[in-house]
Amino acid sequence: MKIIDNRGLNCPEPVLRTKKAFSENPEGVISIVDNEAARENVIRMAKREGFFVRWEEKEEAYHIYITRGTEVPVEKTASTPSATCCNASGGCTSNDQVILIAAEQFGQGSEELGRLLMRNYLYTLTSRSDFPKTIIFINGGVKLCTKGSPVIEELRELQNKEVEILACGTCLDYYNLKEELSAGTISNMYEIADRLMAASRVLSL
């Protein structure tokens, strides 16, 4: 198996290098990363591609073994027809609609008003009968996913309704908030680009 050493690399390099290595070595690769976020990002990419994944921690790093197999379910890709899935609470998620949130406030002008509008917007989403498939938080928007955010309960409720919540890992690092994440999943630019490209409609706030 091909060994790819991704230690010390920033997002999304570990994911991109691992995917490229696997395309060149279809028998399998071992991707080595040195942090949990990179580990989870590589694993999610491999699972989306339909590969079998296992990992172990050794030598102060994470060794991720990726091979072809059917043990891992293949997630939806851009080539898969869109569909609507209804959850147990009676709501439905649209499989190809994405909301991109890049700030703590909604709109320009008063920051206080903007934060109130953002909270009202996310609360309104929880009360709808249909939901976006994914909400992506980048730049200052990631602060909404962290401890002390006024919309944590709304985001958790959306997660319970099967809405995917992704927070940019590079952005969390920039604001020193990675350990404060309280809702959603730490993501990377490869995954964010994948979601945006697969969406038939993107709403940017």
Whole-angstrom distance, CA of residue 141 vs CA of residue 96: 21
84-204 CATH fold: Hypothetical Protein Ychn; Chain: A, (3.40.1260)
Intrachain domains 2-68 and 84-204 with the same fold: no
pLDDT of residue 72: 38
Q: What are the residue boundaries of the structural domains of the chain, listed by start?
A: 2-68, 84-204
Whole-angstrom distance, CA of residue 116 vs CA of residue 150: 9
The pTM of this model reads 0.69
Confidence of residue 90 (pLDDT cuts 50, 70, 90): low
Q: pLDDT tens for residues 45-61?
A: 888 888 899 999 988 99
Confidence of residue 150 (pLDDT cuts 50, 70, 90): very high
2-68 CATH fold: Translation Initiation Factor IF3 (3.30.110)
Counting Cβ atoms within 10 Å, is residue 152 exposed (0-12), middle (13-18) or buried (19+)?
middle
Q: pLDDT tens for residues 170-184?
A: 999 999 999 999 999
Percent of the chain with pLDDT strictly greater than 90: 61
Q: Which residue has the higher pLDDT, 67 or 12?
A: 67
Q: pLDDT tens for residues 157-169?
A: 999 999 999 999 9
